[in-house]
Structure 1
Amino acid sequence: MRRYLQQKTNLIGSRLQGRITANVELVRGLAATIATDSDIDQERFTALANSLDNARSDIQSFAVAPDLVVSMVHPLEGNEAVLGLDYRTNEAQQAMALQARDTKETIFAGPVDLVQGGRGFIARYPIFNRLPNGREQFWGLLAAVIDADTLLKLSGIVDNTEVEFALVGRDGRGFAGNQFFGDAKILENDPVSNFIDFGSGQWILYAIPKGGWATTSKNVWFIRAVGLCIFFLVVVPIYGIGRLYQERGVHLADNLANQQKLAHMTKRLEMALQTSKIGVWEFDPALEKTHWDERMKELHGLPLHEDVTDQFWRDRLHPDDRDRVIEEIRVAVENGTLFKSQFRIRPAGGKELTIRAVGSLLVSASGERRLIGVNWDISEDVAREHELEEARAESERRYLALEQAQVKIRESALHDFLTGLPNRRYLDDLLHRRNGDGPCIDDQTCLIKIDLDGFKEVNDNYGHAAGDAILVEVASLLRRVISEEEFTARVGGDEFIILCQTDEELERPVALCGEVLEALQTPIEFNGRKCRIGASIGIALSVDAKNDPDKLLSNADLALYQSKQTGKGRYSFFSEPLVQKARQQRRLADDVLRGIENREFIAFYQGQYSAKTHELVGAEALARWQHPERGLVSPFEFVETAEALGVMGAIDAQILDHVIATKKRFDQQGFVVPRLSVNVSAKRLGDKDLIGNLRKLDINPESLTFELVESTFLDRSDAQVAANIRQIRDMGIDIEIDDFGTAYASIVSLTHLLPNRLKIDRELVLPIIEREDQRELVHSIIHIGRTLGIGSVAEGVESMEHAEILRIMGVDILQGFAFCRPLSAEDFYRHHHTSTGSNAWRVAAT
């Protein structure tokens, strides 16, 4: 009886082990999928979970907890209470959740009381993202709830009519865990046992016959015989013989009933194993004999009527796995350890399969040893993991390509494309030590700011090519005069700076300024012409600025302004009286506020044209200030002051009103301008009333485009800005990033926000005629946009040669002096409707 009960317990244990392992593997596969899609949402998660519904499992529900807080569940119905569960503060589940994160292993817990009601086992699998440097970063947990009643019932433990079972090892802790199923008296009644190891935990299954072990007193028949002799000496022997025959019949009937019950129980176990598709095997190391059930034979392609042989099994193993698997079995038998392996087999007449096997050594009371275990096919899981790895590798390759493009853009953003010198952004980072540790300036630091005199005249008289040559020559000059420890940069159109160290005598800055001024007295030749320029220089000492980088730059500007005012071609040191001149800026600020009040800000228009056909496809509205005394004022003169005052939003609003009125007038004149682009400042974009005001405007939103500066569009930290951008797009208004390539653009942010077009800054476009590296850079930006479904607009198209190169590169829209300068609304209309025909401008442009 005990041997029979042990065999039955082993089969039940294998069945239970197989079901748990299969459930855990499902969780592992789903977690691997989520790891490749860290931005997964509820809809995507539901789709993944639904794809597992046809898989055989006891899983009741799934929950995903990014950063240990549950945000997604499946199915949602009935599990709403789980949403928002914070494993970090939930005392009942905190320890297990943190253990899964810290050990990076699947943690099997339970049974536990579920938040959504009922009891179940929970398998928690940690999810890690792989960073580009190869390191892993914790993302969150995937938890699967396994219905406790279903698991135990389908394993044959619950409602068993012949055997009573008990399970020990709560939370998968094996012998160290508490009993969580069955009567506690079972453990006291000399039970048989089976050790269950499912990888992420262990249980011990105990069993005794229903009602306990049958006990019979050793002397009962002797006493009964003596009694019969004493009390029935006169009873004829025939009566005793009759009684013996009667009892023999009863025992035969009981034996027959037990055999029928055993056959019924065996049939039920066979049906359960067949349904689970898990093969059960048993290996006798003493006799070197192996027994397979039908599922094992099906997996290996062995006819059901044949017995397995050691040679048949060895032949089915993949040659690359054969020696390893045989050695693992030998170690498990010799050391009595758990056998756990994964290997490939080649079934007779079938395709290659990947098998996972788990087994444990069973030693009977008589010392007989058997290695009993289960096998199941995981080929689909392995294939799925391989596909996920391929997808992850492809994703990483694309990410690296985007990163390389971003590095090129960032390098360009920190250096002047024309001279190769560091630019203003580089200088700001250096002064504020954003790219290093410790202060960059001290009491001996001196900042020299140089502004070229006569540079505008060279540009106007000889063209931008001559101006560019002047800038390159000045940059070369500055490189020659400074020492290795000193620093120079181009910080504006014709502005340069030098950083050096000085003493109380100020010999070094004076010497540098003298060399620069003297060298610039010699004309610079360009295409056989002598271009004469000079320089005005402002010098500021850090000690006067109290080592404040911004104050140092401001003082240098004031000193430079003093040089300009006193005749140019000289240098001036900052002094406190120069501060008085800053009052002029305050007067400008007052004028700006008055101009807003009097609605003096209007729009000029510069056309935008199809790169393929040169047809007018839109126009950009550019802000101008109609000053009552100074006339038309460029935005370069008032934007900085307006931004400092925080009134750019009000100016934007006036420009937008002007655009709406102009659009109506154009429509009445039959002049079709498909789109009008308006610049929107960061201040206005963060206005909570922006969307409400836009909805009140009398204009078709689809005819509007909002141009956002790159840093504003890509900054998603401001919730109001992000919300306004989303609603602007919902209204049908296009969004463009202005001056793209001049700020710290985030490729990842582009993929999230997806504007309609990128406007490539003119500083990147201008040099593409002469420089191959600049053409490659611009082409990279166009390619990135096209990859993400984003169009492109090229600014600064100053020649038809620019236009042709950009068309070949694949740019969509052109804007620049080659087609149209910024014009008033009336002049813009006349420019496109001359007396010789509405398309005459296009003929002239070619």
Structure 2
Amino acid sequence: MLSIIRQHSHKAFFVFTAAFWVTSVLIVQFYAELSTNRITQEEQQNLRREAALIRSKIESAIYEDVYIAGSLATVLRVSTSTVIDNWDSVASDLIQKSTHIRNIGIAPNNVISLVYPLEGNEAAIGLDFRSAPEQYAAVMKAKESGDVYLDGPIELVQGGQALIARYPIFLDYPINQKYWGSTSIVLNFADILQESNIRDLKNANFAIQRTTVGGVVDVFLGSEEVFESPDELLPVFLPNNQWLIAVKSTAGLSDLAKLERNITQFFGYTGALILYISVFLLYRAYQLAHKASLKDELTHLPNRRYLFNQLEQRMRPSKRKTGFALLNIDLNEFKQINDQFGHEAGDALLKHIAQLTNNILKGTDFIARVGGDEFLIVLDSSYTELAANERAKALKQHIENRPLHWKGSAITPSISIGVVVYYPDIPTTQEELLHTADHNMYIQKEAHKNNSQIPHYLQGHII
């Protein structure tokens, strides 16, 4: 009955919350739309012009240096030895003529042998592209096309992020049957972006995506969400590659429209929020009171009511595919402990056992105090008899090996545990499950009494 009332109250409050805020938002958004529609068209036109300018700057910056570096590929095709013998001067002259080239390398047989400048790029020497699958795929792409291929942006071996233009070198150009290796130029990706002014784009979010050599679409700059509903999509044409720029306007209203909208929103949402908070606080107070009714006051564990609610949920056929174990725990000689040390010590022992047990429970397992010195544990993680008995044995050892130190004495707890496993495919009621666990516990308790010659609580309790 309590479960039904709680579910109905949650549903009613959820429906109220949804209806309240949906209505408020719809009214406010209606008036906001009247203001935004007047300026949307103009903002989109400006945005298109800015995006087109950014696209052209990126293309021109990349093509400028790619064409300059093409001269190196041409010389290598004619005479590889000339380039290798005069590497520093050739590479230095090329970088000086370029704008964004940060370093150059050549890779006979796809193994990097020369890099300029060498300082700071030593890690790249000796890199076999075949050991770097992504870069090797790009090298093979250039080889197959017989022309320069722009790869990246990628993370470099020597550190940093850059674009790499890869040129295949064939000694029999243009027949392209005698493959010698490749040369690569590394372009400073950050400088290209900065000069394009893409990060200075106002009142808009932007993103750039590429298609990798492996055919994977990758958004490498900005958020993927921009591509979900962009205001503008612009292709960026690159050497044997293509990017796609997406731009979405975030422009707000005019200053006057913003003021009018903010005043409406302020008074409307403030009044709605005050009313909603008042209702929420009343509902929260009810929830806290209800939660307190499901907790044991002494040990702060769940109580009998909470346990029964949980068992009811777990034993619903539609909610359960695997079984669970139920452990009934009862303290041995608890009355003697209360008589010997007092009820304050007994309460401390109950809290001690509750804490010890909680420390070793897993996942959704939980322990509840159902009265006096009796506890029940639900083990979701143990749903076979073997596993449940092993857990019960470990729990018994864990508790009985950790005495409670009480005013100069050590009170060693002793417990009896009754174990029962619930199987979803075997019809069982909650009462039958609890009775079986209780019955098995008393069997253990009788065995303890028959085997004990002196009260367990007196064994070695003096420190």
- Using the size of structure 2 for normalisation, the TM-score is 0.43
Higher Cα Rg, which structure? 1
Looking at both structures, which has the greater relative contact order when contacts are Cα pairs under 8 Å and sequence separation is at least 6? 2
Larger helix proportion of the pair: 2
